[in-house]
Amino acid sequence: MPVPAPQTKLPNIGTTIFTVMSQLAAEHSAVNLGQGFPDFDVPERLVQALDRAMREGKNQYAPMTGLPVLRQAIAAKTERCYGYRPDADTEVTVTSGASEAIFDAVHAVVRPGDEVIVLDPCYDCYEPAIDLAGGRAVHVALDPAHFRPDWERIRAAVTPRTRMIITNTPHNPSGAMFDGADIAQLEALLHDTGIYLLSDEVYEHIVFDGARHESALRHPALRERAFVVSSFGKTYHCTGWKVGYCIAPPALSAELRKVHQYNTFCTFTPAQAAFAEMIEAEPTHYEGLGAFYQAKRDRFHDQLLGTQLKPLTVPGGYFQLVDYSTVSDLDDASFCRWLTVEKGVCAIPLSPFYAEPPRRQHLARLCFAKNEATLDAAIERLRAL
């Protein structure tokens, strides 16, 4: 009897747009401003600390929840940043990247038939996690001009089946950020409900122009029902190390850990030791990250003004959206492929971030977490559009 073809659990999912575009960039020797990874060095202290940890024999399984020294460092850093100190033993869990933390949080509480509200455009790992948990993603579009939440539309999407809402600030792909008014609206929306919050805050330290990152951890009414996810890769320029963490109340952390222990169980031990040292010894790194990236944002923005691409405002994160409508009437996927193959600059289309992309939206995402030489090479090619 022939082996039957597998019946896919993710019928609408193919290879991620980031992998597709990066492969296309490599095939055509394009400057890769698509996938969001830095091409500059990891902090030297962190490299030395990793090397030391490995040479000192810290190479075996870490505790499932993370090295105690790292969880303590995370708790202290959280208090320093947001005025709230989570319990390192019961509320902080180290994961193999923020994506794992998101997957674990969804599977910890979402049951078959539950609904999870996501705000489009949204990162592409949210919906597959929801689908695999047997839930249904309910997509609510952000304002397509400024990527602000429409709280009336979000409120209208809540039903008795709503189990969770996923928020992302600073936002990928737009860089938009929640402000105090958004937090008040979110608190009012969730008040006196059983709805959980998954707050994706991986760009928490990359905020510009004196703005304050409104972490859910600052607000008691939110943090009592929230999984708050962070990424060391984004903060310390080492996305390939895949280390992140989740802060949640003890009862939620206990459920998340049940998933985590049978997903990855634990995370790269020497990196955990290195991050603990880095957090404690060099807090100026994360405190100065906004200024570091703001200089890159401003320089790249000014360079783009010399091209036919129109840069949008970027309040946070390390992505620059550009309007290409004066260059082409192609849809965004076709335009980004053309830009990569014919013009030698790789960008990411916005349509994969949506369930239903806005009609005639001519926007592409460029990453400015790059060396000046990389950005200069891209700009030289973009000036020829």
Query: Is the pLDDT at 130 greater than 90, yes or no?
Result: yes
Check residue 320 and give its pLDDT.
Answer: 98
Q: Percentage of the chain surpassing pLDDT 70? A: 100
Q: Are 251 and 225 in contact (CB under 8 A)?
A: no
Check residue 176 and give its pLDDT.
Answer: 98
pLDDT of 245-255, one tens digit each? 999 999 999 99
Query: Is the pLDDT at 86 greater than 90, yes or no?
Result: yes
The model carries a pTM of: 0.97
Cα gap 199→20, rounded to integer Å = 27
The top-level CATH class assigned to 44-285 is alpha beta
pLDDT of 148-182, one tens digit each? 999 999 999 999 999 999 999 999 999 999 999 99
Check residue 5 and give its pLDDT.
Answer: 86
- HEC letters along 12-68: CCCCCHHHHHHHHHHHCCCEECCCCCCCCCCCHHHHHHHHHHHHCCCCCCCCCCCCH
pLDDT of 17-69, one tens digit each? 889 999 999 999 999 999 898 999 999 999 999 999 999 999 999 999 999 99
Split at pLDDT 50, 70, 90, the class of 14 is confident
Check residue 15 and give its pLDDT.
Answer: 84
Q: Are 93 and 257 in contact (CB under 8 A)?
A: yes
Query: Is the pLDDT at 101 greater than 90, yes or no?
Result: yes
Q: Which residues does residue 310 pair with via DSSP β-bridges, in sequence order?
A: 323
Backbone angles phi, psi at 92, to 5 degrees: -120, 125
Q: Are 204 and 213 in contact (CB under 8 A)?
A: yes
pLDDT of 297-327, one tens digit each? 999 999 999 999 999 999 999 999 999 999 9
Give the largest CA-CA distance in the chain: 66
Contacts of 344 (CB under 8 A, 6+ apart): 28, 29, 30, 31, 381
Cα gap 278→196, rounded to integer Å = 32
Sorted by where each begins, the domain ranges of the chain are 17-42+287-382, 44-285
pLDDT of 268-286, one tens digit each? 999 999 999 999 999 999 9
The rounded mean pLDDT for the chain is 97
Check residue 13 and give its pLDDT.
Answer: 83
pLDDT of 186-227, one tens digit each? 999 999 999 999 999 999 999 999 999 999 999 999 999 999
Of 105, 112, 120, 127, the closest CA to residue 157 belongs to 120
Check residue 100 and give its pLDDT.
Answer: 98
5's enclosing H/E stretch is: none
pLDDT of 329-374, one tens digit each? 999 999 999 999 999 999 999 999 999 999 889 999 999 999 999 9
Of 217, 236, 227, the closest CA to residue 195 belongs to 227
Q: What CATH code would you report for 17-42+287-382? A: 3.90.1150.10
Check residue 149 and give its pLDDT.
Answer: 98
Query: Is the pLDDT at 1 greater than 80, yes or no?
Result: no
pLDDT of 217-227, one tens digit each? 999 999 999 99
> What would the two tokens of residue 372 be?
């000046």
CA distances from 319 to 34, 69, 175, 312, 367 (A): 9, 33, 7, 10, 5
Of 282, 286, 302, 292, the closest CA to residue 375 belongs to 302
